[in-house]
Amino acid sequence: MSLLETFTFLSFWAVGLGLSEVEQSQISISTEVKKSIKIHCKITSSDFEGEYIHWYRQKPKKALEHLISVSSTKSPARASLGGRKNKLEARKYSQTSTSVLTVNFIENEDVAIYYCAGWAPHSGWSKKFGEGTKLTVIPSDRRLPADISPKPTIFLPSIAEIKRHKAGTHLCLLENFFPDVIKVYWKEKNGNRILESQEGKTMKTSDTYMKLSWLTVTERSMDKEHKCIVQHEKNKGGVDQEILFPSVNQVVASMTTTIAPTTASTTEKRNVPAIISRKVCLKDEISPLQLQLSNVSAYYTYLLLLLKGAVYFAIIAFGLFRRTEDCDMETVCNRRWQKEVNWSSFIFPKSDR
């Protein structure tokens, strides 16, 4: 076998044995000072035993920082950090093809996004990173409610919107959750494909947070039910919430039945879809963005008023400063005034009567 053939064979062989996927299912972890946390990372590789798994973190507005790496499945790797011995520990578990990073003696300085990574030969021997897990340290003086999972309220499209635009907007409002890290996406009820949707910024309300997400259902999908899927650290049982929305056609049928004559039979009424299974509101001539925009507009109006007040204060302070500078000493001002009077008398002498 020639040298070129050997190199080609080894190249294809190496690509076949490389790491292909890195997955971090924990989007966030919240804890208190002095506690320990464990971050899990799922590795898809045809040679997990031989993989070097690296762990990084990135603090706010800081560069990526390498923490530790582990290669053996038999013994963990340990490292010091910030003057703390054995602050970090990384392990590999061949049974589940996972790596676990343990961070001990949690401090406020440990707030960051933590990443696991491995070498991916099919990508030109570059490192493939997981999506990251954000660590939040809860202040000791903060008193959070017992249940800090996202609380959903759903808004259904109005008849006017459906008739005017031949489409309907499903709105999912999530409130009173902590920490702020949350992932929201939409699917059809029995589908696997993630649909294109929109969302507002995560906003702080007192000690918790709120977020808004909405899906525009086109005319060709009006007969399908959809679900809003919410991923959050504090979901009950660690399972993603799936909030079911009725089809737009069901909304129309329900509203039509509601305004129909009362002579409808009992059987017909039973066939009406059960729309109000959760806390539901019907939007009537209200933009789906109104709730989000009202909060944002109030925030910026407040900032504008503060800026306006600061400008007025600066103008008044400048005027007072100039006046003080011109009349620094009372005697000087009086002399200046006397001179002005004398000159005036000289230029415009009084006439004798």
Residue 222 has pLDDT above 70, yes or no: yes
Provide the pLDDT for residue 268: 32
Instruction: Average the pLDDT over 95-103 and give the result.
Output: 96
Q: Tokens standing for 349?
A: 């002498």
Torsional sign, CA 262, 278, 217, 160: positive
Residue 270 has pLDDT above 60, yes or no: no
Q: Cα(245)–Cα(137) distance, rounded to whole angstroms?
A: 35
pTM for the whole structure:
0.69
Helix, strand, coil share (%) of the chain residues, nearest 5: 30, 35, 35
- Smallest CA-to-CA distance from 40 within 112, 93, 79, 76 is with 93
Provide the pLDDT for residue 119: 86
278: confidence class by pLDDT, cuts 50, 70, 90: very low
The mean pLDDT value of the chain amounts to 80
Answer for the pair 111, 54: CB distance below 8 angstroms, yes or no. Answer: no
Burial per residue of 198-207, b for 16 or more beta-carbon CB atoms within 10 angstroms, e otherwise: ebbebeeeee
Q: Tokens standing for 161?
A: 């919107």
- Smallest CA-to-CA distance from 288 within 172, 185, 153 is with 172
Answer for the pair 41, 98: CB distance below 8 angstroms, yes or no. Answer: yes
Q: Cα(216)–Cα(195) distance, rounded to whole angstroms?
A: 10
Q: Tokens standing for 83?
A: 């003057």
Answer for the pair 154, 170: CB distance below 8 angstroms, yes or no. Answer: yes
Residue 113 has pLDDT above 70, yes or no: yes
226-231 and 183-188 beta bridge pairing: antiparallel
Torsional sign, CA 175, 177, 180, 183: negative
Q: Within a 13 Å sphere around the CA of 78, how many CA atoms are in the beta-carbon half?
A: 6
% the chain with pLDDT above 70: 71
Provide the pLDDT for residue 125: 67
Answer for the pair 41, 51: CB distance below 8 angstroms, yes or no. Answer: no
101 vs 10 pLDDT, higher one:
101
Provide the pLDDT for residue 17: 53
Answer for the pair 33, 106: CB distance below 8 angstroms, yes or no. Answer: yes
121 vs 299 pLDDT, higher one:
121
Q: Which of the 8 DSSP states describes residue 195?
A: B
Answer for the pair 34, 105: CB distance below 8 angstroms, yes or no. Answer: yes
38: confidence class by pLDDT, cuts 50, 70, 90: very high
- Smallest CA-to-CA distance from 287 within 200, 195, 210 is with 200
Q: Which of the 8 DSSP states describes residue 108?
A: G
